[in-house]
């Protein structure tokens, strides 16, 4: 990847900043493309002089996508949302892939999600499947990566739940038996770079990315509670009640939306091609790294022992 110019759509986001960092470490030049590039300029310090570029892009506007790919050797599309799912996750993915093909880009990695399924009860899951189909139709040699739920220092997963546990002595558990295979953000970034580096080997493939541990949602809560020294009372919410709560997801502060409830009906675990095995990456366990950022949720922060937290 040395000296290759890679356009990273969504390069300033949670996963994107790690993909950008991995590309910079490989010697690539990175063009970070997102709606407000001012929010990603902090990444400039991670590269050498002239190694980073920034461009404003809206994937629902194909003209901006085409400009972001001018002269690029490769591209990564990380753009996704739980809002405007058809416009962004589906049509936006197609726009990126078509522009990449028109620009003569040599390799494209499209990051989707486990749960992408045209028959999914979730609008998000259907939009992700439509995005994959659009990307593959326009750019047949694209590599599709489907991660499970992604964790890392800046995530909205472990941080959200640890914050809930730190505030509440009683914790309602919706779909506690739902299974996940949490995957470290740094491993997802390494997978994207590895796929870009060997498009002849990995092009046209769909890989699922899951960490080494399959955990139920209740087990994840229990791990987080132990890591921050809390002992909440966990109450399993019956599915009928959970469905009713999800139906109120439009209300401010509601814990879950109806679409998220639909997503919880299916396990988020690897069932297809194991991407980490194919890409030669040993995935990182949640317990190996999460204490680095969960410490903020202990009562005395990093000055507390696990027993006294």
Do both 23 and 171 map to the same domain?
no
Task: Please check whether residue 279 lies inside any domain of the structure.
Answer: no
Provide the domain limits for residue 233. 158-178+213-268+284-303
CB atoms within 10 A of CB 60: 15
One pLDDT digit (tens) per residue for the chain, 309 residues? 889 999 999 999 999 999 999 999 999 999 999 999 888 888 888 888 889 999 999 999 999 999 999 999 999 999 999 989 999 999 999 999 999 999 999 999 999 999 999 999 999 999 999 999 999 999 999 999 999 999 999 999 999 999 999 998 999 898 999 999 999 999 999 999 999 999 999 999 999 999 999 999 999 999 999 999 999 999 998 988 888 888 876 555 456 788 888 999 999 999 989 999 999 999 999 999 999 999 999 987 665 555 544
Task: Please check whether residue 277 lies inside any domain of the structure.
Answer: no
Do both 196 and 263 map to the same domain?
no
Do both 81 and 204 map to the same domain?
yes
Do both 225 and 204 map to the same domain?
no
Record the pTM: 0.93
Do both 191 and 239 map to the same domain?
no
Do both 227 and 128 map to the same domain?
no
Do both 27 and 120 map to the same domain?
yes
Question: Where residue 51 sits, what CATH number does that domain have?
Answer: 3.40.50.720
Do both 9 and 76 map to the same domain?
yes
Number of domains in the chain: 2
User: What is the predicted pLDDT for the residue at 247?
Assistant: 81
Do both 142 and 239 map to the same domain?
no
């Amino acid at each position: 990847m040395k000296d290759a110019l890679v356009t990273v759509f969504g390069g300033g986001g949670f996963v994107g900043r790690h993909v950008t960092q991995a590309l910079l470490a490989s010697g690539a030049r990175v063009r970070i493309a997102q709606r407000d590039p001012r929010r990603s300029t902090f990444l400039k310090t991670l590269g050498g002089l002239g190694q980073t570029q920034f461009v404003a892009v809206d994937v629902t506007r194909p003209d901006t996508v085409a400009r972001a790919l001018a002269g690029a050797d490769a591209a990564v599309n990380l753009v996704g949302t739980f809002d405007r799912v058809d416009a962004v996750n589906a049509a936006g993915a197609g726009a990126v892939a078509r522009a990449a093909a028109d620009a003569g880009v040599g390799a494209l990695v499209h990051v989707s999600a486990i749960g992408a399924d045209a028959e999914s009860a979730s609008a998000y899951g259907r939009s992700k499947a439509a995005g994959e189909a659009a990307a593959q139709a326009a750019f047949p040699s694209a590599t599709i990566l489907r991660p499970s739920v992604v964790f890392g220092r800046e995530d909205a997963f472990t941080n959200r739940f640890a914050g809930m546990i730190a505030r509440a002595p009683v914790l309602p558990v919706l779909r506690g038996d739902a299974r996940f295979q949490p995957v470290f953000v740094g491993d997802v970034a390494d997978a994207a770079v590895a796929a870009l580096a060997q498009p002849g080997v990995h092009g046209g493939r769909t890989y699922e990315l899951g960490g080494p541990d399959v955990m139920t949602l209740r087990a994840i809560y229990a791990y987080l509670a132990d890591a921050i020294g809390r002992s909440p009372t966990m109450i399993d919410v019956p599915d009928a009640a959970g469905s009713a709560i999800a139906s109120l997801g439009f209300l401010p502060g509601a814990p879950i939306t109806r679409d998220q409830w639909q997503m919880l009906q299916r396990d988020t675990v690897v069932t297809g091609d194991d991407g980490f095995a194919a890409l030669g990456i040993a995935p990182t366990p949640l317990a190996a790294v999460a204490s680095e950022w969960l410490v903020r949720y202990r009562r005395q922060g990093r000055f507390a022992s696990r027993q006294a937290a």
